[in-house]
Structure 1
Amino acid sequence: MLFSQYDKYLDQVSAIEWLRDPAVASMLRQNLYHHDGEKYHLHAYCIMPNHVHVVLTPSPKFIEDSSRSSHAVGEAFDKGSPLSRIMHSLKSYTANEANKLLERSGRFWQPESYDHWIRDEEEMERIVSYICSNPIAANLASKPEDWPWCSCHDRFQLDGDTSGWLPAS
């Protein structure tokens, strides 16, 4: 309940909307897809002007490789969960690239993120539906597949499916 109230607040009020820039949103989408099938399986995502929703499952290979090695390639070692290592990688790379595109410096992402373990298929369906409808709730699109920075749009372009679910890579 608190998360949905906070999300509504984010959709209505923000002084910083760096992700509204198409070049930044495109770079972020490309990076999400870059690691799909390697570090994780990307189920769904939605890039809003000032925040991002991502539904992913860490890949078994990434979990296994991370547990055997003290350093993941190109990343600082993190004793945290596979999810924390994935988020560190995504946030580090995209922050540097976004700052270049926006000709700025400094912190880009908030240091924390809202992580949630999805416990069953019903909850997964509800969450994917929720994030794909986020652009509608924020009055950015009339249909989920109309928002260009969302898995629902990508899936619709691929095969006409409007569920927002991305096919396995």
Structure 2
Amino acid sequence: MPRSRASQVSLIDTPYYHCNSRCVRRCYLCGVDSYSGQSYEHRRGWVEERLLFLASVFAIDICAYAVMSNHVHVVLFVDKNTADDWSMKEVLEHWHQLHRGTLLSQKYLREETLTDSEILSLTETAKIYRQRLHSISWFMGNLNEYIAREANKEDGCTGRFWEGRFKSQALLDESAVLACMAYVDLNPIRAKMESTPETSKHTSICKRTKAIKQKKSQPHQLLPFVGNYKQDMPKGIAYSLKDYCELVDCTGRCIREDKAGHIEHHQNPILERLGLSDDQWLTLTTEFEKHFCYAAGAEQMMHQFKVHTGHQRMRGMCQSKALLKRA
């Protein structure tokens, strides 16, 4: 039986979440359908463009994503503090990029005069919009509904496009976050669609490596890597982009060449800081969804998440001991 989103999202425990949606039909979301021979490759661009647009509207940042032939993976960072800091006008401006809003919100943005009672009513409406603008459910809903409508229009049909609700996993510590990001970025290599991370189209690792090659700063659409943890550090992932790209590259080689338990003759320094062995890392980056359900992280973090979300049991406890313990 599906669980409510309230039992899967706990911002007290973590702002990081791994979400994925799968296509329900025989015809593909993207790629070439082997059954009909028809190509849907152009839809990858739809998904990627919509994802990056939504990140500019919502108080939610994208850490990693991969658009596959019949499913989409994305790792999100929920930035509730930013949403709370927005003025009422900013909230309404963001919301109106997606929806028409109300007559009062339209009048307010046209800078027309509102009565005191109208201002009071609009304040309550803006409060609802503010909550939605840092909601994973609203983010994924705006992604999936848009793609479903466009695909149905192109296919000349109606009906369900996605396989039920999107799945969500809470990533409770830095090891889980980076392992899940690498798992997502390496999806095309595991599926034998691509041979290297930098050539994996419509993935976050491709976008990050392209920025490096062009000697640009990190892609503004993605949550940046900001270096090793320090006080008063900017918002971002507390590791260097160079370390992460090198780690994903050598992990991709291991997956491609089937060298289980071996990463370029010595342990990558980033794994040492995460406290993970080569074997643990390769298992996580090839079988992440297999071992964890609603949350992933060290055992103590899993226990805290279980309490805060009201779960009686939490699948993945044994795996957290084996895979996310200190090596």
Same fold by TM-score greater than 0.5: yes
Q: 1:85-96, aligned counterparts within 5 Å?
A: 85-96=138-149
Aligned to 1:99: 152
Match of 1:106, SS?
coil
1 CA distance for matches of 2:192 and 2:44? 18
Whether the 8 Å CA contact 2:29–2:69 is kept in 1: the answer is yes
**What do residues 11-58 of structure 1 show as CA deviations (whole Å, max 9, x unaligned)?**
xxx833222222211011000000214311011100110001001122
- Which ranges in structure 2 are unaligned for 5 or more consecutive residues? 1-21, 32-39, 102-127, 215-220, 225-235, 237-327
Aligned residue among 75, 88, 93 for 1:55:
75
**Match of 1:6?**
none
CA separation of 1:63 and 1:49: change in aligned 2, threshold 3 A: farther
Instruction: Work out the CA distance in 2 between the residues paired with 1:50 and 1:63.
Output: 36
Cα offset for 1:167? Answer: 4.5
- Where do 1:120-131 residues align within 5 Å? 120-131=173-184
Mapping of 1:119-158 within 5 angstroms? 119-158=172-211
| Identical amino acids, percent of aligned pairs | 25
When the two chains are superposed, the root-mean-square deviation of aligned CA atoms in Å is: 3.2
Please give the alpha-carbon distance, in whole angstroms, between the structure 2 residues aligned to 1:143 and 1:75.
42
How far 1:160 moved relative to its partner?
3.7
CA distance in 2, matches of 1:106, 1:64: 39
Distance in 1 of aligned mates of 2:143 and 2:100: 10
- Using the TM superposition, give the Cα deviation of residue 152 of structure 1 relative to its aligned residue in structure 2, in angstroms: 1.2
TM score, norm. by length of structure 2: 0.40
1:32 equivalenced with 2:51 (yes/no): yes
TM-score (norm 1): 0.73
Number of the residue aligned with 1:16? 27
Change (3 A) 1:147 1:63: farther
Stretch of structure 1 that moved more, 100-109 or 145-154:
100-109
Q: Tell me if structure 1 keeps the 8 A contact 2:61–2:223.
A: no
Checking the alignment, whether the CA contact within 8 Å between 1:37 and 1:59 is kept in structure 2 is no
After superposition, what is the alpha-carbon deviation per residue over 1:108-141, rounded to whole angstroms, capped at 9, x for unaligned? Answer: 1122121011111111110011111111111101
Higher Rg of the two aligned structures: 2
Q: Using the TM superposition, give the Cα deviation of residue 63 of structure 1 relative to its aligned residue in structure 2, in angstroms.
A: 6.6
The change in CA–CA distance for 1:121 and 1:110 in structure 2 (over 3 A counts) is same
SS of match in other structure, 2:66: strand
Task: Specify the code of the residue in structure 2 equivalent to 1:127.
Answer: C
**Structure 1 residues without counterparts, runs of 5 or longer:** 1-9
Counterparts of 2:223 and 2:167, CA distance in 1: 24
